[in-house]
């Protein structure tokens, strides 16, 4: 390929030279621009001049347009909070936490095909106390084979103490046939 009697093939190394005094970001931009222009020059020279260069350019543009972009799977992490209802014991709170984790995992897998793993942390709240109840960490393949949160969850045994539910009994103790005493029926203890 000659232009004004000068062979551009011999000038290609000079054309691609990168000024070393420039910062790395500018050098990368310079190199990318020069590489694209050199590719156009090469395609024009190999395919027979300006017409071939346009054909080469259109081929490159079409190839770039139909080439699929790289896709990367990722892990989705989420915090879910479950508030303890009045009169609810620890076991009922844990059942609700498992249901919330199961629903969150299923929704994330259904919503985004690129999610290959979910990590759902369920926090329990009792009054002003907050503690982690469980973490559901499962891959898409494992969840598809067995969508059971009890199988894939890690439970925190200290949550009962942290939420102050250790000695909690939701039902008052009384025998059938008698009614529990109201606070006004309890005799007051007066100091002497």
- What is the C-alpha separation between 5 and 8, in angstroms, rounded? 9
What 3-state class would DSSP assign to 169? coil
Q: How far apart are the first and last CA of the chain?
A: 116
46 Cβ contact partners less than 8 Å away, ≥ 6 residues apart: 52, 56
Alpha-helical segments (H) within 112-152: 140-145, 149-152
Q: What is the pLDDT of residue 165?
A: 87
What residue ranges do the domains of the chain occupy?
2-66, 74-162
Answer yes or no: pTM beyond 0.75: no
In whole angstroms, how large is the CA radius of gyration of the chain? 35
Token pair, residue 129, equals 């106390």
Query: CA torsion angle for 152, 153, 157, 158 (degrees, to 10)?
Result: 150
Q: What is the pLDDT of residue 166?
A: 78
- What is the C-alpha separation between 173 and 179, in angstroms, rounded? 10
Number of H helices, E strands in the chain: 7, 6
Q: What is the pLDDT along the chain (192 residues), one digit of tens a residue?
A: 555 555 555 555 554 554 555 555 555 555 555 555 555 555 555 545 555 555 555 565 566 667 777 778 889 999 999 999 999 999 999 999 999 999 999 999 999 999 999 999 999 999 889 999 999 999 999 999 999 999 999 999 999 999 988 765 554 443 334 444 444 444 445 444
- What is the C-alpha separation between 26 and 4, in angstroms, rounded? 31
């Amino acid at each position: 390929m000659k232009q004004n009697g000068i062979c551009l093939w011999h000038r290609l190394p000079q054309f691609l030279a990168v000024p070393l005094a420039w910062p790395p970001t500018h050098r990368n931009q310079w190199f990318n621009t020069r590489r694209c222009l050199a590719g156009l020059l090469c395609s024009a020279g190999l395919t027979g001049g300006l017409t071939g260069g346009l054909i080469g350019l259109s081929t490159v543009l079409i190839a770039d347009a139909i080439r699929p972009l790289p896709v990367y799977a990722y892990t989705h992490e989420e915090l879910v909070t479950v508030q303890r209802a009045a009169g609810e014991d620890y076991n009922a709170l844990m059942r609700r936490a498992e249901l919330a984790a199961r629903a969150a995992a299923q929704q994330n897998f259904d919503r985004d095909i690129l999610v290959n793993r979910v990590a759902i942390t369920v926090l329990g709240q009792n009054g002003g106390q907050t503690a982690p109840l469980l973490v559901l960490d499962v891959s898409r393949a494992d969840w598809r084979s067995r969508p059971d949160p009890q199988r894939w969850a890690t439970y925190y045994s200290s949550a009962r103490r942290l939420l102050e539910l250790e000695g909690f009994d939701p039902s008052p103790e009384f025998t059938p046939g008698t009614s529990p005493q109201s606070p006004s029926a309890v005799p007051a203890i007066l100091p002497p």
